[in-house]
């Protein structure tokens, strides 16, 4: 990965392609790469949908290699949802394929004058960009099917649905999985709207004729990878719970802990949780001929994904993940797994962030637009987004906009982005991450649930403020570094509990690149990335006031523990004091 593909969509005479050396961005990958380019090359005060914004797609440092779990891809830009810097992360095949073609990043810049749609095709022989307005307003599934007809089935696709074309602030970017289905989404922050504003509908990548990226020290790398895999397989979370029940194994756990947000964050437990739990979901998948255990990309050994079939045994969607099941389930008072799976399919096809959409439907229910528990009403709201109606465009713009449109005070967002599936009053550590992450409310930015609830990497009492600042700080630093490697974030469970697994990961990086990285270097990388991101946000107009949870979390106690968020503002302001 020694080159950057730049596509200027605003060039006179049509899109212009240039390939440049990696240059000053050498040593970076994934989130480190996207945040470095955005912070250096994008004016912080620009409009996110203007020609001045850029959309950066970057595989990780270990993507395209034999390293297990290395198939994550980072997509970065200035977010139309938060107004700040954004990195959205996805699984699927594109990261591995793009890396094997030698690209450290694709940078899409400029903006076409005409309202045409383009498809981009990349293989070992070069890049081809063509207008294709026949793709207009197609869903992600239909778009990928057309690409398969044209380019064959040995490809990977990065695409948007109608939401991205309409430039809606909750629009996602889809990445295809091993079955060439557009089920893995860079969901958060409206990245789909940014690529949509540049007229790019789909990027097709074909690595036929390429080989795996080879390490500097092959034997050392292979041995380290074997130790790394062994560590993942022997940890109870990555070796047992996630493979058996997927991420939705968390539903019963968080519900029991009283941290499962229900009815738009009114309560911490949902009476219907058992009906939509990971255990129930896995049983349904197996009974109907789907899969309860499945990898989203080649090289995945945790295999926390799955395939969900409808009641007639036909494919409907990938296994709805914990965040999706919560957002469209408990958060909205819906306990019908089939309805939740349909909502998941619609989100994927239209190209929408499932977390943002579930939170938005919850706000619409709070406003009285439909009632809590109305699954069919929720489905119709998401369909409105796909149709592009006036109501659909409001819903597709996210929870904050919907709250303003319908006069709702209780809107669970930070920096304009909806909170995920953990109540910050009952899980204080994740509340710190929600409030202070440069990304807006984002559980993956510093997953304190691991230590607060799962007791991974120690234990910090989730109901008390003590120790939460340091916990979130350390996890945000570590996460920024992991997001740069192309590694799935779920490796963190084993890495936090098993020093030898962390050492194996470090050894892989050193063996591959011929380096001598130490744990201190990993910390320095994470700090550097966060500093770039926070500097961009500050220049975009963010202050400490934006690093806050909505006031209702401090005022309204959540049952069953009847607790509020107790961490003071002045403490939140110390998270990045290192």
What mean pLDDT comes out for the span 416-429? 98
User: For tokens 């050396």, what's the residue?
Assistant: 21
- Same domain membership, residue 171 and residue 27: yes
pTM of the model: 0.97
Please report the pLDDT score of residue 297 as a whole number. 83
Q: Taking 80 as the threshold, does the pLDDT of residue 1 lie above it?
A: no
Tell me whether residue 402 is in a domain: yes
Tell me whether residue 505 is in a domain: no
Tell me whether residue 513 is in a domain: no
- Same domain membership, residue 303 and residue 159: no
Q: What is the pLDDT of residues 557-571, one digit of tens each?
A: 999 999 999 999 999
What mean pLDDT comes out for the span 452-473? 97
Please report the pLDDT score of residue 469 as a whole number. 98
Q: What is the pLDDT of residues 230-273, one digit of tens each?
A: 999 999 999 999 999 999 999 999 999 999 999 999 999 999 99
Q: Report helix angle 278-287 to 250-257, nearest 10.
A: 160
pLDDT-based confidence at residue 298 (cuts at 50, 70, 90): confident
- Same domain membership, residue 264 and residue 157: no
User: What mean pLDDT, rounded, does the chain reach?
Assistant: 97
- Same domain membership, residue 133 and residue 15: yes
Start-to-end C-alpha separation, the chain:
32
What mean pLDDT comes out for the span 497-507? 96
Please report the pLDDT score of residue 486 as a whole number. 94
Report DSSP letters for 455-497, one per residue: -TTS---TTS-TTHHHHHHHHHHHHHHHHHHT--TTHHHHHHH
- Same domain membership, residue 166 and residue 49: yes
- Same domain membership, residue 298 and residue 159: no
Tell me whether residue 475 is in a domain: no
Q: What is the pLDDT of residues 107-129, one digit of tens each?
A: 999 999 999 999 999 999 999 99
- Same domain membership, residue 413 and residue 346: yes
- Same domain membership, residue 189 and residue 294: no
Q: What is the pLDDT of residues 367-387, one digit of tens each?
A: 999 999 999 999 999 999 999
What mean pLDDT comes out for the span 37-47? 98
Q: Taking 90 as the threshold, does the pLDDT of residue 152 lie above it?
A: yes
Please report the pLDDT score of residue 241 as a whole number. 92
Q: Taking 90 as the threshold, does the pLDDT of residue 71 lie above it?
A: yes
Please report the pLDDT score of residue 10 as a whole number. 96
Strand order in the sheet with 305-309: 291-294, 305-309, 315-318
Domain containing 357 — which CATH number?
1.10.569.10
- Same domain membership, residue 299 and residue 376: yes
User: For tokens 């139309």, what's the residue?
Assistant: 80
Tell me whether residue 476 is in a domain: no
Q: Report the percentage of the chain scoring pLDDT > 90.
A: 98
Q: What is the pLDDT of residues 165-194, one digit of tens each?
A: 999 999 999 999 999 999 999 999 999 999
- Same domain membership, residue 267 and residue 127: no
Please report the pLDDT score of residue 350 as a whole number. 98
What mean pLDDT comes out for the span 273-286? 96
Q: Report the percentage of the chain scoring pLDDT > 70.
A: 100
317 HSE (CA, 13 A, CB side): 24
> How many domains, in total, are found in the chain?
2
Rounded to the nearest 10°, the torsion over CA 173, 178, 181, 187 is: -20
State the Cα–Cα distance between residues 457 and 92, nearest whole angstrom: 28
Q: Taking 80 as the threshold, does the pLDDT of residue 417 lie above it?
A: yes
User: Quick one: 561 exposed, middle or buried, by C-beta within 10 A (0-12, 13-18, 19+)?
Assistant: middle
- Same domain membership, residue 400 and residue 290: yes
Q: What is the pLDDT of residues 542-553, one digit of tens each?
A: 999 999 999 999
Domain end residue (candidates: 365, 392, 421): 421
Report DSSP letters for 61-122, one per residue: TTTTSS-TT---EEEEEE-TTTSSEEEEEE-SSHHHHHHHTTEEEEEEES--SS---EEEEE
Q: Judge whether 224 and 526 are in contact, CB under 8 Å.
A: no
State the Cα–Cα distance between residues 435 and 88, nearest whole angstrom: 17
Tell me whether residue 494 is in a domain: no
Please report the pLDDT score of residue 567 as a whole number. 98
Domain containing 97 — which CATH number?
3.60.9.10
Domain end residue (candidates: 395, 421, 447): 421
Tell me whether residue 524 is in a domain: no
Tell me whether residue 449 is in a domain: no
User: Quick one: 163 exposed, middle or buried, by C-beta within 10 A (0-12, 13-18, 19+)?
Assistant: buried
Provide the residue count of the chain. 578
3-state secondary structure of 515: coil
Parent domain of 358: 260-421
Please report the pLDDT score of residue 299 as a whole number. 84
Domain end residue (candidates: 402, 421, 440): 421
- Same domain membership, residue 132 and residue 25: yes
């Amino acid at each position: 990965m020694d080159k950057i593909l730049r596509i200027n969509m605003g060039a006179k005479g049509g899109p212009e392609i240039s390939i440049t050396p990696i240059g000053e961005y050498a040593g970076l990958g994934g989130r480190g790469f996207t945040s470095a380019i955005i912070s250096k090359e994008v004016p912080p005060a620009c409009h996110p949908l203007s020609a001045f914004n850029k959309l950066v797609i970057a595989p990780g440092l270990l993507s395209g290699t034999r390293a297990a779990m290395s198939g994550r891809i980072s997509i970065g830009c200035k977010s139309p949802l938060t107004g700040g810097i954004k990195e959205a992360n996805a699984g699927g095949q594109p990261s591995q394929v793009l890396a094997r073609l030698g690209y450290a990043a694709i940078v899409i810049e400029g903006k076409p004058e005409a309202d045409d749609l383009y498809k981009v095709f990349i293989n070992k022989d070069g890049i081809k960009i063509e207008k294709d307005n026949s793709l207009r307003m197609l869903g992600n599934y239909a778009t990928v099917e057309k690409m398969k007809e044209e380019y064959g089935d040995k490809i990977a696709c990065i695409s948007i649905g109608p939401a991205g074309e309409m430039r809606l602030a909750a629009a996602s970017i889809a990445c295809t999985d091993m079955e060439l289905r557009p089920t893995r989404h860079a969901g958060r922050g409206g990245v789909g709207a940014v690529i949509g504003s540049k007229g790019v509908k789909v990027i097709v990548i074909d690595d036929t004729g390429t080989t795996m990226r080879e390490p500097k020290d092959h034997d050392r790398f292979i041995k380290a990878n074997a130790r790394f895999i062994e560590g993942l397989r022997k940890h109870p979370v990555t070796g047992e719970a996630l493979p058996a029940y997927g991420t939705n194994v968390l539903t019963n756990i968080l519900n029991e802990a009283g941290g499962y947000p229900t009815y738009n964050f009114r309560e911490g437990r949902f009476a219907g949780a058992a009906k939509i739990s990971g255990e129930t979901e896995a049983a349904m998948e197996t009974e109907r001929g789907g899969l309860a255990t499945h990898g989203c990309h080649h090289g995945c050994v945790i295999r926390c994904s799955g395939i969900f079939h409808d009641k007639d045994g036909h494919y409907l969607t990938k296994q709805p993940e914990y965040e999706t099941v919560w957002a469209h389930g408990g958060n909205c008072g819906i306990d019908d797994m089939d309805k939740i799976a349909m909502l998941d399919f619609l989100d994927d096809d239209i190209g929408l962030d499932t977390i943002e959409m579930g939170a938005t439907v919850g706000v619409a229910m709070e406003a009285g637009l439909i009632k809590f528990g109305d699954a069919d009403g929720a489905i119709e709201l998401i369909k409105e987004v796909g149709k592009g109606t006036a109501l659909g465009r409001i819903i597709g713009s996210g929870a904050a906009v919907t709250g303003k449109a319908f006069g709702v005070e209780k809107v669970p967002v930070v920096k304009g982005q909806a909170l995920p599936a953990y109540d910050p009053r009952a899980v204080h550590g994740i509340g710190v991450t929600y409030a202070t992450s440069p990304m807006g409310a984002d559980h993956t930015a510093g997953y304190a649930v691991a230590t607060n609830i799962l007791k991974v990497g120690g234990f910090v009492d989730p109901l008390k403020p003590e120790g939460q600042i340091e916990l979130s700080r350390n996890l945000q630093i570590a996460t920024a570094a992991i997001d740069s490697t192309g590694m799935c974030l779920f490796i963190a469970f084993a890495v936090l509990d098993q020093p030898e697994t962390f050492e194996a990961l470090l050894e892989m990086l050193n063996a591959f690149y011929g380096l001598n990285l130490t744990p201190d270097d990993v910390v320095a990388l994470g700090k550097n990335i966060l500093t770039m991101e926070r500097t961009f946000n500050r220049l975009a107009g963010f202050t400490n006031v934006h690093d806050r949870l909505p006031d209702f979390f401090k005022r309204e106690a959540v049952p069953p523990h009847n607790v509020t968020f107790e961490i003071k503002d002045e403490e939140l302001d110390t998270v990045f004091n290192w």
